[in-house]
Amino acid sequence: MLSQIITCKYQFGLPLYRQETMLSDIGIELSRQTMSSWILRCATLLEPLYMRLKAILLAEPAIHADETPLKVIKAEKATSYMWVYCCGADALGSNTNIVLFDYHNSRKAQCAIDFLDGYQGYMHVDGYKAYESTQATLVACLAHIRRKFIDVKKLQGKKKTGKVDIVLNLIGKLYGIEKRIKGKSVEEKLAIRQSQAKPIVTTLYNWLIEHKEKIPPKSKLGEAISYSLNQFEKFQRYLEDGRLSIDNNRAERAVKPFVIGRKAWLFSYTNTGANASAILYSLVETAKANNLLVHDYIATCLQQIAEKPNNIDALLPWNIKHS
């Protein structure tokens, strides 16, 4: 029953008041207040597993990060944020695949600093400056750079060609290389990026520098060029290591289920509830990323952690798979 309630809310975005109605329709009287209390207690029970996953995540050489707004009724500030940190690939079958959410009533850099706890590996991010205050080596996102130029292209019109098409063509070639090297070893990726992608990255950089002074800075194209140059040093780091990604789409896709669910349940009532949601969303999305049935995984975790609270490692998704 507990797993069913958690799965309905956090995997399928079904608010507790709707679950209350559905249960009532089949003759089960269970109030949303009771379900909410159960969810809070389940999150507390599962927190040690969340913390174990966090320790494993922060031992990874490269991670991804993003954040999205969240409304919490009884919070000090009007807008809170759910931060997401993940590793691995969202393609099924990766060895270590973790998605963790972290709630804060703030978007300050200290939120990321506290979560990362001195992490000094690579971290894929967008252009949000708060991440620069961490000790991670930041890797900027080519998808964010591309979006700036796509916005320019939309203003230009599909049938017209211009300067922006040169940039989009170069970016397209870089993504083409990434498509071709998908599934290759880390060493092969590095070698191909150095031989094939690096010259294109250099051409792109030279084009941006050449046109920086020629294009009005407040025009859409000027803004796209400025943004790209500000991010370029961090972006081209992906050429250094075959374990790195060309963009931060991993984190953007990881946070999407939360964003979709938020449209259904709209807000959290308290900070405690939002923290519970962070823990439960983390376990749901990590289970999905490891190709586990969410309902079965949550049920197993609740049962096992209640009976054997010191055997947390047995509940890691990749250990569940092989048990």
Write the CA distances from 206 to 91, 200, 220, 228, integer angstroms: 34, 10, 19, 12
Whole-number pLDDT of residue 132? 96
Is the predicted pLDDT of residue 80 greater than 60, yes or no?
Answer: yes
| Per-residue pLDDT tens digits for 149-182 | 999 998 876 667 778 999 999 999 999 999 999 9
| Per-residue pLDDT tens digits for 102-130 | 999 999 999 999 999 999 999 999 999 99
What six digits make up the tokens of 24? 């009532």
Confidence bin at 267 (pLDDT 50/70/90)? confident
What six digits make up the tokens of 16? 């507790």
CA distance 321 to 319: 5
- Residues 289-309 have a mean pLDDT of 94
CA distance 221 to 211: 10
Secondary structure of the chain in HEC code, one letter for each residue: CHHHHHHHHHCCCCCHHHHHHHHHHCCCCCCHHHHHHHHHHHHHHHHHHHHHHHHHHCCCCEEEEEEEEECECCCCCCCEEEEEEEECCCCCCCCCCEEEEEEECCCCHHHHHHHHCCCCCEEEECCCHHHHHCCCEEEECHHHHHHHHHHHHHHHCCCCCCHHHHHHHHHHHHHHHHHHHCCCCHHHHHHHHHHHHHHHHHHHHHHHHHHHCCCCCCCHHHHHHHHHHHHHHHHHHHHCCCCCCCCCHHHHHHHHHHHHHHHHHCCECCHHHHHHHHHHHHHHHHHHHCCCCHHHHHHHHHHHHHHCCCCHHHHCHHHHHCC
- Residues 233-251 have a mean pLDDT of 96
Confidence bin at 220 (pLDDT 50/70/90)? very high
| Per-residue pLDDT tens digits for 20-44 | 999 999 999 999 999 999 999 999 9
Confidence bin at 94 (pLDDT 50/70/90)? low
- Check if the beta carbon of residue 66 is closer than 8 Å to that of residue 88: no
pLDDT above 70 coverage of the chain, percent: 96
Confidence bin at 321 (pLDDT 50/70/90)? low
